[in-house]
Amino acid sequence: MKQIISIIFIAMLLPSLSYAEDQANHKIKEPVSGIKSLSPKLRGLLAKEMQALQNGMQSIIPAYVSGNWNEIAQIADKMQGSYILKQSLSDDQKKELHTSLSSSFLKLDQQFHYLSGMLKHVAKNKKTELIGFYFSKLSETCVSCHTQFATHRFPALEPKEPMTEHSH
Ligand code: HEC
């Protein structure tokens, strides 16, 4: 029964992702220049980290539907610790990151770390419903940050014309 509920929950996740996209579209769009002005080395690190995050998210689903809480906790732990802004960068690189990226980017990054930490915590405590909840919240954070800072990479996330929202 629990398994069936989990599967239904995952089926429900997809619409919630596009809901997150809609929500994110209401936020003010920041110029992407911050990302584009990063040195090629830092930008390369960022892309590598993003790939790792994507792999992590993709591995969580099979672990979740089979009740493999330990594996989820391990993946969440890696996601929490491995992201570029937490890596041991040189002082100059840290300075570069903090001066190039806006405070809302750094806030989203913090939010992301908070949510991975929560996912790890609830996985350790085997709280099935909460694992689904925090997984969904994490996905919203990916979409939210990409909508604000990575539409050059994901043009489909470009905020829509405000008028279309209210037309009947
Ligand atoms: C705090 C902001 C932020 C968060 C949170 C975030 N991303 Fe990203 N992501 C970016 C930016 C910015 C780029 C574009 C980087 C560039 O153009 O150099 C990007 C690019 C990517 C890419 C493309 C990398 C490539 O090879 O070019 C993938 C895949 C990706 N993100 C996955 C994810 C996933 C999955 C999550 C959530 C688990 C996530 N991201 C969360 C900011 C974020």
Residues lining ligand 1, Cβ inside 6 A: 35, 43, 46-47, 50-51, 53-54, 57, 105, 108-109, 112, 138, 141-142, 145-146, 149-150, 153
How close are the terminal C-alpha atoms of the chain, in Å?
41
What are the pLDDT digits (tens) for 51-95?
989 999 999 999 999 999 999 999 999 998 865 556 657 788 778
Rounded to whole angstroms, the Cα distance separating 80 from 27 reads: 25
CB 78 within 8 A of CB 120: no
Torsion of CA 72, 75, 77, 82, to 10 degrees: -160
Residue 15 has pLDDT above 60, yes or no: no
CB 157 within 8 A of CB 151: yes
- The pair of structure tokens assigned to 85 is 């802004």
Q: What is the whole-number distance in angstroms between the Cα of residue 124 and the centre of ligand 1? A: 26
Q: Is the four-CA dihedral 66, 47, 120, 112 of positive or negative sign?
A: negative
CB 104 within 8 A of CB 163: no
What are the pLDDT digits (tens) for 87-132?
657 788 778 877 888 888 889 988 999 999 999 999 999 999 999 9
